[in-house]
Structure 1
Amino acid sequence: MKLTKVMGHRGAALLAPENTLASIRAAAATGVKWVEIDVHPIAQGGLIIFHDHTLERCTNGFGNTLEANLETMLSLDAGSWFGAEHDGEKVPTLEQAIDCIQALGLGLNLEIKYEDADVERVVPPILAVLSERWQDNDKLMISSFNYEALQICYREDKQRHLGYLVEDVPSDWLLKLAAIEAFSLNCYYAVLTKQQARAVKSAGYKLLCYTANEAHLVERHWDWGMDTIITDDPNQFMHLES
């Protein structure tokens, strides 16, 4: 799988309301070739593109995201909080997001956003949608902070490209990456050290860092071996792709 140096975060979260089709299109308009979005399970088996555990920040709804049903989610305004030009923007389903991303020719880093114990129930339906709708496995990464979710992905299909998401790099990172034949370690740029970065690269893994929105913040990270920056504003980094 070939990654580019720049990946849009939640589409392009500084350019349009995050995790919406508008945000994905805004990312594509910058010239970026990959986007990261969050898939979040909801009631009755629904799968939406959404980050938060509650609805208030990014919609005109309220309550726990996990408890919302699909009809409710699709009725919400997910854009007006960002700006009047996005009034009426909807929360997309996983299927809608996949179709949009593929139509734009983008690669997808799909983060599984789930922390509860019954992850065995949540992951297989996500993989089923991907198997049915996603066409090019070399343009797909599945990532998660939930290591068990990645273990299930690996068990179900060892050809998937898996990214283990962390904030601080844990002491057992190498064992965990090896156990799922991971593609990458995806970590928070501000707490990454040069020693950690070099170790990840020496072990043969890709290194993705989130979420820097100004180029000067990660100048040294490229020297350390960082492969890709995940950013809310791809425009700040597109000069690196030329």
Structure 2
Amino acid sequence: MQLSKVMGHRGAALLAPENTLASIKAAAKTGVKWVEIDVYPIAQGGLVIFHDDTLDRCTNGSGVTADAELKTVLSLDAGAWFGSEFSGEGVPTLEQAIACIQDLGLGLNLEIKYEGTDVEAVVPPILATLTALWQDPEMLMISSFNYPALEVCHRLNSTLYLAYLVEDVPQDWQEKLSGIAAYSLNCDYSQLTETQARAVKEAGYKLLCYTANTTDAVKDHWQWGMDAVITDDPNQFMHLES
């Protein structure tokens, strides 16, 4: 995998409305080579780029995201809440996001945002879309807090670069990573200890930390072996890529 040290979070969530095409483009303008976005399954098989369980915070709509129909979600304004200059910015579909990211020459960390149990129904359409549209497997990572979803990913395509997402590193992290032949552990930088970081690295896995927005927040983490930082403002870290 062609991993770099800096990855934009939800595009670049401090620079433009998160998980929108505008946010992906804002990330690209910083010079960052990778972005992380969330794919959220909604009603009738829709796959949109969105984070929250409800529509309220990041759109002018309301209600439970998973229950919303695609036509409704695509009609919402997902930019005005961030700033008037983004008024009219929409919620992208997975297909639209893939096209945008590839046009910009970026790598994609696609987080499967799904807390349910029906992973056998949810995961295959996501992978099918990626198989049809994503061109460079060396520039694609799939991550999730939902471990069963990652298990399905591994079963359907054992060559995928998978990342297990956690907040606090669990005691069984090594068993979990081994079980899906994971590429990396992606964890909350503020919960990570030096002992945990060094153990992950010694076990042969990559270590990515979210969501740090100042260099001081993770200055020790680089020494512990952190491979990449996931940040809302890539500008803060782009000097590391030179």
Task: Pick the TM interval, shorter chain.
Answer: over 0.9
1:159 has 2:170 as partner: no
Question: Which SS does the other structure have where 2:88 is aligned?
Answer: coil
* Deviation at residue 2 of structure 1 after TM alignment: 2.0
SS state of the match for residue 199, structure 1?
helix
**Residues 1:47 and 2:47 are matched in the alignment:** yes
Q: 1:111, CA displacement in angstroms?
A: 0.1
Q: Distance in 2 between matches of 1:133 and 1:231?
A: 26
1:174 is the counterpart of 2:174: yes
**Aligned residue number for residue 143 of structure 2:** 143
Determine the C-alpha separation between the residues in 2 that align with 1:94 and 1:2.
22
Residues 105-157 of structure 1: per-residue CA shift (max 9 Å, x gap): 00000000001111111000000000000000000000000000000000000
Q: Flag structure 1 segments of 5+ consecutive residues without an equivalent.
A: none
Does residue 229 of structure 1 match 2:229?
yes
AA paired with 1:222? W
Separation in 1, partners of 2:227, 2:3 = 8
Aligned-partner SS, 2:12 = coil
Q: Distance in 1 between matches of 2:74 and 2:166?
A: 31
Distance (Å, rounded) in 2 between the aligned partners of 1:139 and 1:3: 8
Give the match's secondary structure for 2:162.
strand
Distance 1:37 1:72 in 2: 21
Aligned residues: 242
Q: Which residue does the alignment assign to 1:113?
A: 113
Structure 1 CA distance for aligned equivalents of residues 2 and 135 of structure 2: 16
Identity of aligned residues (%): 73
Counterpart CA distance in 2 for 1:115 and 1:26 is 29
Residues 77-121 of structure 1: CA deviation (Å, up to 9, x unaligned)? 000000000000000000000000000000000000001111111
Q: TM-score, normalised by structure 1?
A: 1.00
Structure 2: gaps (5+ residues): none
The DSSP-based 3-state class of the residue aligned with 1:191 is coil
CA RMSD of aligned residues (A): 0.3
Q: Please give the TM-score of this superposition, normalised by the length of structure 2.
A: 1.00
Instruction: Give runs of ≥4 in structure 1 deviating > 3 Å.
Output: none
